A and B are shown apart, each in its own frame.
Chain A
Amino acid sequence: MENLGTIGYSEEQVELMEVATNFCRDKSPMDKVRALLDDDAGFDSAIWQEIADLGWLAIAIPEEYEGVGLSLSEVVPIAEQMGKNLMTTPFADVTLAAQAILMAGSAAQKAQYLPQIAAGTLASLALSEANGDWDLSNISAAANAKPNGSGDDYILSGEKLLVPYAAQADIIIVSILVDGAVRLAIIPRGDIVADDAMRREQIIDETRRTYAVTLDGISIGGDQLLDADKTQAALDHVHLAANLLQSAEMSGGTIAVIDYTLDYLKTRKQFGKVIGEYQALKHPITNAYVDYEKARSHLYSAAHCFNDQGRGEVATRMAKATIDKAYSFAADRAIQFHGGFGFTHDCDAQLYRRAAIWHASQHGDATYHRAKLADLLF
């Protein structure tokens, strides 16, 4: 099967992996993660600034737009370390927003926004709606030409859901229907003015923030729309890129929850033995670890092949499908293997379990990707 990928890595990936390993460990200890659960913004703006200063938001932005000129492959090790330390910031969301503009923006839009994003402007994507469909073209929010305008100006209607960090964003890229076709439009956060236009949502992953955003009444000019001809390709790209970065975060989360559980299995005693001696615990945690390593191989294959026509899609979907199962299993067993403590909010197992559910819920879970893979492979 020629569309199966291979694995490899770049020197830059390895360097970034090292830097990110230290940075995320130092900046996101568990007490910090827990303190941020109750924080309104959900992330530390000082750390966000450091991330921008490190140039991490610019990695996959070409040099001509003041980016670093690498690719999403180099973003993967960073996202992985963030997932490992439950360091949740708008990092992935901003990276994806930049990809959308890069893929479908006009020359002017790219020149205006990409350097800003590279420097730390917070951009977010508003793609989901109430139907819960992972198919990004199944939307009903719309832009209608203003009745007696020049034809260039539109008025928006509809509601976007699960918009990451909308309240903190500087710009939001929304998907809307224009004359029945899916389009993307860049909206400055400042244009969303209605009192009740933004509602913070209750989501399973308490380390994150998302918002429901009402578009009703917002006006946009034609120059805010991204290129019609490139929109579908941009959405496909964003879908795969999102899954790539999620897979990376999930990979990090999986080994973290395994290590967390191992610590308990090595110290907790019952019936006079350390519970890690019991094979009823020992073998499932080993299976979780084996599944993790297999999924991580898929992840680094996806990172390596991401830009290869065909192979990139197969590898990315395989990564998400395998890591979804691995993360869910590892975190599920983590709760069980901590006994009564596992049922508490204080036990970190739930943080990982919730993160895994969140990631499965966005851009497709294992079953969804396997169905897509079947069509790609057979």
Chain B
Amino acid sequence: MATDGAKKPSEAELKDYEAQADAWFRENTPKDPGFMLPLTFMEVSTDQQFEFLCDWQRKVYEAGYLGTSWPAEYGGGGMHPDYQRISTRMMKKYDGPIILNAIGIGWAGPLLLDIGSEEDKHKYIKGMLNADDIWCQGFSEPEHGSDLGSAQLKAVRDGDEYVLSGSKIWTSLGDRAKYMILLARTSNDGPSKYAGLSFFLIPMKIPGIETRRIKKLTGEYGFVQSFFTDARVPAEGLVGKEGDGWMVAMKTLEYERGAKVNPAGGYYLKELDAMGVVDLARNSQRGGKPLLDDPVMRDKMVEQMMEIQALNLNNQRRRMAPLNQDKPMGLAMMNKLARTEMIRDLTEFSLGFQGTRAGYYVGDENAVDDGYWHRSYLNSFSATIGGGTSEIQRNIVAEHVLGLPKGR
């Protein structure tokens, strides 16, 4: 594993490192680039944003603050995970832009480090860390989204290749990615729909794969539909065995929670500046008076503050076993649901303050905060739909935390 050799650093070593990382991020974190930066990797739409974020990721990697605790032989820093935790904290402290290559270093990388071949680790890891190789995730299909286990894109073995046919959709960064992690069907006659699924790492820029950009509700581009017409990919791309696909896909979810493989660091989703809502309200007017004089608005604002604070506290409490004895997995399992719904609700609420100016959108000089709140509200659905919808999250909490039966 990643850090077998790295020895636990002393307090003094960590202090030195922290001072050094602090200085680096203070100096190198880009200030306002003059255009709107994405809050999540799913929101990247323009070339300008894409290139800016590739540059930023490369720079962080080259300074040693990304993949810090991944093995040095594959391109990581080979250091103890405590160092990575510090640099990620510093990145947050200076409110750095997001790390773009989420599917690469958050999903594919840990998978390779955990069960990949030596050859694959050498081939892929460095490129994902330095943003040379952007990755995307081909799970959802036009006919099967929440019901991922029914995915139908076909993969047929032909010598030392697989032949792919079918379609994937809503693929973030799909038009820019060099590689995809792909869930495909290798068989239809297993004991269950899951048994026929296989997991592949495939190249995207090959004959037989075409992508079509899809315009998002924000008016921007960002995800694609991809069409596979007898696309031939090397059989080495199969992860595990044929039929292991579902299990491998579930594994990647564990990595997301930081289990088994040390995180490569950084963050792919930026936290909304929730407290900014208070300033927004302070600076808004109703009937010539500050909006925050209005008792109804005050009450609603307190409700929002309590939600934000609850989630901050949940995050702290998650790590405190004695305060989670009853349902130990509860806070971890509900986090996505609670956080994404909170942000949707908060950003929607923020539009209500802006009076006539709520009518503007990004691009108009009169838009409040350059349209930040509008765009954040529309984009908030990326998280309440993507990565498993809120409804599916409720099923998961109900079934895995509360022990209720699966619906039939």
Total of A-B residue pairs, C-beta within 8 Å? 132
A276 interfacial contact with B, CB 8 Å: yes
Contact partner, B398, options A6, A273, A282, A374, Cβ 8 Å = A282
- On chain B, the number of residues with a Cβ less than 8 Å from chain A's Cβ atoms is 45
Q: Residues 95-118 of chain A: 1 if any B CB is under 8 Å from the residue's CB, otherwise 0?
A: 000000000000000000000000
Q: Provide the residues of chain B in CB contact with A300, threshold 8 Å.
A: 313, 317, 323
Given contacts A289-B397, A298-B309, A300-B317, contact A374 B405 (CB under 8 A): no
Contact partner, B299, options A296, A301, A370, Cβ 8 Å = A370
In this complex, the member of B282, B292, B312 whose beta carbon has the largest number of chain A beta carbons within 10 angstroms is B312
Given contacts A283-B398, A378-B292, contact A290 B313 (CB under 8 A): no
B310 interfacial contact with A, CB 8 Å: yes
Q: Provide the residues of chain A in CB contact with B391, threshold 8 Å.
A: 279, 283
Q: Residues 272-301 of chain A: 1 if any B CB is under 8 Å from the residue's CB, otherwise 0?
A: 011011110011011101100111111011
Q: Are A7 and B313 in contact (CB under 8 A)?
A: yes
Q: Residues 278-304 of chain B: 1 if any A CB is under 8 Å from the residue's CB, otherwise 0?
A: 100110000000001001001101110
* B350 CB, min distance to chain A CBs, angstroms: 15
Q: Are A290 and B334 in contact (CB under 8 A)?
A: yes
Q: Are B398 and A286 in contact (CB under 8 A)?
A: yes
A46 interfacial contact with B, CB 8 Å: no
Q: Are B405 and A283 in contact (CB under 8 A)?
A: no
Q: Provide the residues of chain A in CB contact with B183, threshold 8 Å.
A: none
* B51 CB, min distance to chain A CBs, angstroms: 37
Expressed in whole angstroms, the Cα–Cα distance for A131 and B187 within the complex equals: 74
How many of chain A's residues touch chain B, expressed as a range? Answer: 35 or more
Expressed in whole angstroms, the Cα–Cα distance for A5 and B313 within the complex equals: 9
Given contacts A285-B402, A377-B305, contact A255 B326 (CB under 8 A): yes
B407 interfacial contact with A, CB 8 Å: yes
Expressed in whole angstroms, the Cα–Cα distance for A300 and B319 within the complex equals: 14
Expressed in whole angstroms, the Cα–Cα distance for A294 and B334 within the complex equals: 10
Expressed in whole angstroms, the Cα–Cα distance for A377 and B282 within the complex equals: 12
Q: Are A4 and B334 in contact (CB under 8 A)?
A: no
Contact partner, B395, options A9, A282, A377, Cβ 8 Å = A282
Expressed in whole angstroms, the Cα–Cα distance for A283 and B334 within the complex equals: 12
**Which residues of chain A from 1 to 24 have any CB-CB distance to chain B below 8 Å in the complex?**
1, 4-9, 13-14, 17
**Which residues of chain B from 342 to 396 have any CB-CB distance to chain A below 8 Å in the complex?**
391, 394-395
B134 interfacial contact with A, CB 8 Å: no
Q: Are A17 and B311 in contact (CB under 8 A)?
A: no
Expressed in whole angstroms, the Cα–Cα distance for A293 and B303 within the complex equals: 16
Q: Provide the residues of chain A in CB contact with B298, threshold 8 Å.
A: 371, 374, 378
Contact partner, B302, options A9, A298, A374, Cβ 8 Å = A374
Using a CB–CB cutoff of 8 Å, the interface residues on chain B facing chain A are: 275, 278, 281-282, 292, 295, 298-299, 301-303, 305-307, 309-314, 316-317, 320, 322-323, 325-326, 330-331, 334, 337-338, 391, 394-395, 397-398, 401-408
> Can you give 8 contacting A-B residue pairs, CB < 8 Å?
A1-B305, A7-B323, A13-B322, A286-B398, A289-B397, A295-B310, A373-B305, A377-B305
Not counting A289-B401, A367-B299, a sample of 4 additional A-B residue pairs whose C-beta atoms are within 8 angstroms of each other reads: A5-B309, A5-B313, A296-B317, A297-B316
Using a CB–CB cutoff of 8 Å, the interface residues on chain A facing chain B are: 1, 4-9, 13-14, 17, 255, 258, 262, 265-266, 273-274, 276-279, 282-283, 285-287, 289-290, 293-298, 300-301, 318, 321-322, 367, 370-371, 373-374, 377-378
